[in-house]
Amino acid sequence: MMFLMWKRVIIFGESASINCTSSHPDFDIMGWEAPYGGSRYVKSSIVIWEVERLEVWKPDPFCYVTLEKEQCTVHPNITVYKTPDSVSVSASSDEPLVEGREFSLTCDIINVAPKRNLIVKWYRDHEKVHTEMFKNDTSELPNNVTSTWKMIPKKSYNGTKFTCKAELDLGPKGPEPVPTFSINLFIILFPHTHLPEGNDSKEVNQGENVTFSCHAEGNPAPEIHWNYTSAESVWETSVSGFSWWHLVLMGLMVLIAIVFLVLFIKLWSYHTKHGQYSFINPAIPLATKA
Protein backbone atom coordinates (compact mmCIF):
# COMPACT_ATOMS: atom_id res chain seq x y z
CA MET A 1 0.00 0.00 0.00
CA MET A 2 1.21 3.53 -0.68
CA PHE A 3 -0.21 6.92 0.14
CA LEU A 4 0.78 9.83 -2.07
CA MET A 5 0.40 12.87 0.14
CA TRP A 6 1.34 16.42 -0.75
CA LYS A 7 3.06 18.77 1.60
CA ARG A 8 0.95 21.87 1.36
CA VAL A 9 1.58 25.52 2.08
CA ILE A 10 -1.70 27.43 2.23
CA ILE A 11 -2.34 31.11 2.80
CA PHE A 12 -4.90 31.82 5.52
CA GLY A 13 -8.35 32.63 4.14
CA GLU A 14 -7.81 31.02 0.71
CA SER A 15 -9.21 27.78 -0.74
CA ALA A 16 -7.30 24.52 -0.31
CA SER A 17 -7.37 20.93 -1.53
CA ILE A 18 -5.22 17.84 -0.95
CA ASN A 19 -5.29 14.50 -2.77
CA CYS A 20 -4.87 11.17 -1.00
CA THR A 21 -4.12 8.07 -3.11
CA SER A 22 -3.80 4.38 -2.26
CA SER A 23 -2.20 1.69 -4.40
CA HIS A 24 -3.72 -1.23 -2.45
CA PRO A 25 -6.09 -3.17 -4.72
CA ASP A 26 -8.38 -4.49 -1.98
CA PHE A 27 -9.79 -1.95 0.46
CA ASP A 28 -13.27 -1.29 1.77
CA ILE A 29 -13.44 2.49 1.94
CA MET A 30 -11.11 5.45 1.83
CA GLY A 31 -11.73 8.98 3.06
CA TRP A 32 -10.79 12.06 5.06
CA GLU A 33 -11.47 13.02 8.65
CA ALA A 34 -11.04 16.67 9.57
CA PRO A 35 -12.26 19.00 12.31
CA TYR A 36 -12.60 21.67 9.65
CA GLY A 37 -13.79 21.16 6.10
CA GLY A 38 -15.99 18.15 6.81
CA SER A 39 -15.30 14.47 6.24
CA ARG A 40 -16.08 12.07 3.44
CA TYR A 41 -15.51 8.48 2.43
CA VAL A 42 -15.72 6.84 -0.98
CA LYS A 43 -15.05 3.55 -2.69
CA SER A 44 -12.21 5.01 -4.71
CA SER A 45 -8.42 4.96 -4.70
CA ILE A 46 -8.32 8.77 -4.76
CA VAL A 47 -10.05 11.06 -2.27
CA ILE A 48 -9.79 14.84 -2.01
CA TRP A 49 -10.00 17.08 1.04
CA GLU A 50 -11.31 20.50 0.06
CA VAL A 51 -12.21 23.75 1.77
CA GLU A 52 -13.43 26.89 0.03
CA ARG A 53 -11.93 29.23 2.62
CA LEU A 54 -9.39 28.01 5.15
CA GLU A 55 -9.90 29.98 8.36
CA VAL A 56 -8.18 27.86 11.00
CA TRP A 57 -4.46 27.86 11.74
CA LYS A 58 -4.15 24.12 12.40
CA PRO A 59 -6.73 22.24 10.31
CA ASP A 60 -5.13 18.81 11.00
CA PRO A 61 -7.06 16.59 8.53
CA PHE A 62 -6.00 12.96 8.03
CA CYS A 63 -6.60 10.45 5.29
CA TYR A 64 -7.56 6.84 6.11
CA VAL A 65 -8.08 3.59 4.23
CA THR A 66 -9.99 0.67 5.71
CA LEU A 67 -8.82 -2.83 4.85
CA GLU A 68 -10.27 -6.17 5.86
CA LYS A 69 -8.53 -6.33 9.24
CA GLU A 70 -7.00 -2.91 9.81
CA GLN A 71 -7.18 0.79 9.12
CA CYS A 72 -4.24 2.91 8.01
CA THR A 73 -4.01 6.69 8.41
CA VAL A 74 -1.66 9.41 7.26
CA HIS A 75 -1.48 13.10 8.19
CA PRO A 76 -0.43 15.64 5.57
CA ASN A 77 2.12 18.30 6.45
CA ILE A 78 0.16 21.55 6.20
CA THR A 79 1.57 25.01 6.84
CA VAL A 80 -0.94 27.85 7.05
CA TYR A 81 0.76 31.21 6.64
CA LYS A 82 -0.06 34.89 6.73
CA THR A 83 2.06 37.76 5.45
CA PRO A 84 2.62 40.66 7.88
CA ASP A 85 0.19 43.57 8.07
CA SER A 86 3.11 45.98 8.28
CA VAL A 87 6.87 46.23 8.73
CA SER A 88 8.43 49.28 10.37
CA VAL A 89 11.91 50.24 11.50
CA SER A 90 12.83 52.82 14.11
CA ALA A 91 15.57 53.90 16.46
CA SER A 92 15.21 52.38 19.90
CA SER A 93 16.12 55.70 21.53
CA ASP A 94 15.32 59.35 20.98
CA GLU A 95 18.97 60.20 21.62
CA PRO A 96 20.97 61.40 18.60
CA LEU A 97 23.14 58.86 16.80
CA VAL A 98 26.68 59.65 17.94
CA GLU A 99 29.89 58.24 16.53
CA GLY A 100 31.37 55.47 18.72
CA ARG A 101 28.34 55.16 21.03
CA GLU A 102 26.33 51.90 20.86
CA PHE A 103 22.99 52.37 19.15
CA SER A 104 20.07 50.05 18.37
CA LEU A 105 17.63 49.85 15.48
CA THR A 106 14.33 48.02 15.95
CA CYS A 107 12.25 46.31 13.26
CA ASP A 108 8.60 45.52 14.08
CA ILE A 109 6.80 42.89 11.98
CA ILE A 110 3.09 42.94 12.76
CA ASN A 111 0.69 39.96 12.62
CA VAL A 112 2.74 37.35 10.76
CA ALA A 113 2.46 33.53 10.81
CA PRO A 114 4.10 31.19 11.37
CA LYS A 115 6.89 32.88 13.28
CA ARG A 116 9.26 29.91 12.89
CA ASN A 117 9.40 30.50 9.13
CA LEU A 118 10.25 34.19 9.49
CA ILE A 119 13.74 35.43 8.66
CA VAL A 120 14.68 39.04 9.41
CA LYS A 121 17.65 40.47 7.53
CA TRP A 122 19.34 43.81 8.18
CA TYR A 123 21.21 45.68 5.46
CA ARG A 124 23.55 48.66 5.54
CA ASP A 125 23.06 50.02 2.03
CA HIS A 126 23.47 46.77 0.02
CA GLU A 127 25.56 44.88 2.58
CA LYS A 128 23.80 42.32 4.79
CA VAL A 129 24.98 42.93 8.35
CA HIS A 130 22.66 40.82 10.54
CA THR A 131 20.23 37.89 10.24
CA GLU A 132 17.74 36.69 12.85
CA MET A 133 15.63 33.50 12.72
CA PHE A 134 12.96 32.04 15.01
CA LYS A 135 13.07 28.30 14.22
CA ASN A 136 12.41 27.22 17.80
CA ASP A 137 9.01 28.92 17.94
CA THR A 138 6.13 26.41 17.86
CA SER A 139 3.14 28.74 17.60
CA GLU A 140 0.83 28.40 14.60
CA LEU A 141 -0.96 31.67 15.33
CA PRO A 142 0.01 35.14 14.06
CA ASN A 143 2.58 37.00 16.12
CA ASN A 144 4.04 40.46 16.41
CA VAL A 145 7.78 40.01 16.02
CA THR A 146 10.54 42.43 16.98
CA SER A 147 14.12 42.23 15.76
CA THR A 148 16.80 44.47 17.26
CA TRP A 149 20.21 45.16 15.78
CA LYS A 150 22.91 46.80 17.87
CA MET A 151 25.77 48.64 16.23
CA ILE A 152 28.66 50.98 16.96
CA PRO A 153 28.20 53.90 14.51
CA LYS A 154 31.11 55.13 12.45
CA LYS A 155 31.59 58.52 10.89
CA SER A 156 31.06 57.00 7.43
CA TYR A 157 27.51 55.90 8.37
CA ASN A 158 26.14 59.43 8.07
CA GLY A 159 23.39 59.40 5.42
CA THR A 160 23.52 55.59 5.10
CA LYS A 161 20.36 53.64 4.24
CA PHE A 162 19.53 50.87 6.71
CA THR A 163 16.96 48.29 5.62
CA CYS A 164 14.95 45.72 7.58
CA LYS A 165 13.76 42.89 5.33
CA ALA A 166 11.22 40.31 6.58
CA GLU A 167 11.02 37.04 4.61
CA LEU A 168 8.66 34.08 5.03
CA ASP A 169 10.77 31.08 4.04
CA LEU A 170 8.13 28.39 3.45
CA GLY A 171 10.35 25.91 1.66
CA PRO A 172 10.18 24.45 -1.86
CA LYS A 173 6.39 24.06 -1.67
CA GLY A 174 5.95 27.69 -0.68
CA PRO A 175 5.08 30.58 -2.96
CA GLU A 176 7.57 31.97 -5.44
CA PRO A 177 9.05 34.43 -5.03
CA VAL A 178 9.44 34.23 -1.26
CA PRO A 179 7.07 36.76 0.39
CA THR A 180 9.36 39.64 1.33
CA PHE A 181 8.58 42.95 3.00
CA SER A 182 11.14 45.67 3.66
CA ILE A 183 11.40 49.18 5.06
CA ASN A 184 14.25 51.69 4.88
CA LEU A 185 15.64 54.18 7.38
CA PHE A 186 18.17 56.88 6.55
CA ILE A 187 20.27 57.89 9.54
CA ILE A 188 21.95 61.15 10.42
CA LEU A 189 25.12 60.67 12.41
CA PHE A 190 26.45 63.21 14.87
CA PRO A 191 30.22 62.68 15.14
CA HIS A 192 31.95 64.07 18.19
CA THR A 193 32.97 67.66 17.61
CA HIS A 194 36.73 67.62 17.26
CA LEU A 195 39.05 70.58 17.76
CA PRO A 196 42.80 69.91 17.61
CA GLU A 197 44.43 70.54 20.96
CA GLY A 198 47.06 73.13 21.69
CA ASN A 199 47.48 76.89 21.58
CA ASP A 200 48.83 79.10 18.82
CA SER A 201 51.37 81.82 19.51
CA LYS A 202 53.03 84.07 16.94
CA GLU A 203 55.60 86.86 17.14
CA VAL A 204 55.35 89.57 14.50
CA ASN A 205 57.13 92.76 13.51
CA GLN A 206 55.34 96.03 13.10
CA GLY A 207 53.82 96.23 9.62
CA GLU A 208 53.40 92.45 9.20
CA ASN A 209 50.11 90.59 8.82
CA VAL A 210 48.85 88.05 11.36
CA THR A 211 46.58 85.10 10.49
CA PHE A 212 45.26 82.43 12.88
CA SER A 213 43.42 79.39 11.48
CA CYS A 214 40.98 76.96 13.09
CA HIS A 215 39.44 73.72 11.82
CA ALA A 216 36.71 71.79 13.64
CA GLU A 217 34.79 68.67 12.56
CA GLY A 218 31.27 67.66 13.51
CA ASN A 219 27.72 67.11 12.26
CA PRO A 220 26.00 69.50 12.05
CA ALA A 221 29.08 71.52 11.17
CA PRO A 222 30.36 73.36 14.27
CA GLU A 223 29.99 77.11 14.43
CA ILE A 224 33.34 78.79 14.96
CA HIS A 225 33.33 82.14 16.73
CA TRP A 226 36.31 84.45 17.07
CA ASN A 227 36.26 86.77 20.06
CA TYR A 228 38.40 89.87 19.66
CA THR A 229 38.38 93.63 19.89
CA SER A 230 37.00 94.89 16.60
CA ALA A 231 39.02 97.13 14.31
CA GLU A 232 38.95 98.10 10.64
CA SER A 233 42.02 96.01 9.87
CA VAL A 234 40.61 92.77 11.35
CA TRP A 235 38.38 90.33 9.47
CA GLU A 236 37.36 86.64 9.34
CA THR A 237 36.95 84.12 6.54
CA SER A 238 35.48 80.59 6.77
CA VAL A 239 34.53 77.64 4.55
CA SER A 240 33.57 73.98 5.24
CA GLY A 241 34.61 73.86 8.88
CA PHE A 242 37.73 76.01 8.41
CA SER A 243 37.95 79.54 9.76
CA TRP A 244 40.68 82.18 9.58
CA TRP A 245 41.21 85.36 11.59
CA HIS A 246 43.26 88.08 9.89
CA LEU A 247 44.94 91.22 11.21
CA VAL A 248 46.82 93.84 9.22
CA LEU A 249 49.24 95.77 11.42
CA MET A 250 49.09 99.12 9.69
CA GLY A 251 50.18 101.33 12.54
CA LEU A 252 50.42 101.83 16.25
CA MET A 253 46.91 103.25 16.58
CA VAL A 254 45.53 99.81 15.80
CA LEU A 255 47.82 98.18 18.32
CA ILE A 256 46.48 100.22 21.19
CA ALA A 257 43.33 98.13 21.31
CA ILE A 258 44.50 94.70 20.26
CA VAL A 259 48.13 94.13 21.15
CA PHE A 260 47.22 91.76 23.98
CA LEU A 261 44.38 90.04 22.13
CA VAL A 262 43.50 86.44 23.08
CA LEU A 263 41.39 84.40 20.66
CA PHE A 264 38.66 81.96 21.70
CA ILE A 265 37.13 79.49 19.23
CA LYS A 266 33.74 78.38 20.53
CA LEU A 267 32.01 75.22 19.24
CA TRP A 268 28.69 73.66 20.07
CA SER A 269 30.43 71.35 22.50
CA TYR A 270 32.14 74.34 24.07
CA HIS A 271 35.71 73.40 23.23
CA THR A 272 38.08 76.36 23.18
CA LYS A 273 41.49 77.06 21.73
CA HIS A 274 43.63 80.10 22.35
CA GLY A 275 45.97 82.17 20.24
CA GLN A 276 47.89 85.34 20.89
CA TYR A 277 50.50 87.51 19.26
CA SER A 278 53.15 89.83 20.69
CA PHE A 279 55.91 92.12 19.41
CA ILE A 280 59.34 90.69 18.71
CA ASN A 281 60.79 93.97 19.99
CA PRO A 282 59.15 94.80 23.32
CA ALA A 283 60.72 98.27 23.27
CA ILE A 284 58.32 99.49 20.58
CA PRO A 285 56.18 102.11 22.30
CA LEU A 286 52.39 102.04 22.14
CA ALA A 287 50.82 105.15 20.70
CA THR A 288 48.23 107.10 22.56
CA LYS A 289 45.29 108.93 21.14
CA ALA A 290 45.83 112.63 20.60
The residue ranges of every structural domain in the chain are: 8-81, 86-190, 200-279
- For residues 224 and 243, the answer to whether their CB atoms sit within 8 Å is yes
The topology under which CATH files domain 8-81 is Immunoglobulin-like (2.60.40)
The count of other CB atoms within 10 Å of the CB of residue 165 is 19
pLDDT at 221: 67
pLDDT at 283: 39
- CA distance linking residue 255 with residue 288, whole number of Å: 10
- CA distance linking residue 22 with residue 30, whole number of Å: 8
Identical fold for domains 86-190 and 200-279, yes or no, is yes
pLDDT in tens, the chain (290 residues): 545 556 788 999 999 888 888 877 777 788 888 877 655 666 677 888 888 899 999 988 888 888 877 888 888 888 999 999 999 888 877 777 777 888 888 999 999 999 999 999 999 988 999 999 999 999 999 999 999 999 888 878 878 888 999 999 988 877 777 778 777 776 666 655 555 566 666 676 666 777 777 766 666 666 777 666 666 666 666 665 565 655 555 443 333 333 333 333 333 334 444 444 444 444 333 333 33
Name the architecture of domain 86-190.
Answer: Sandwich (2.60)
- Chain centroid to Cα 26, Å, comes to 62
pLDDT at 246: 57
CATH number for region 200-279: 2.60.40.10
- For residues 226 and 189, the answer to whether their CB atoms sit within 8 Å is no
pLDDT at 18: 86
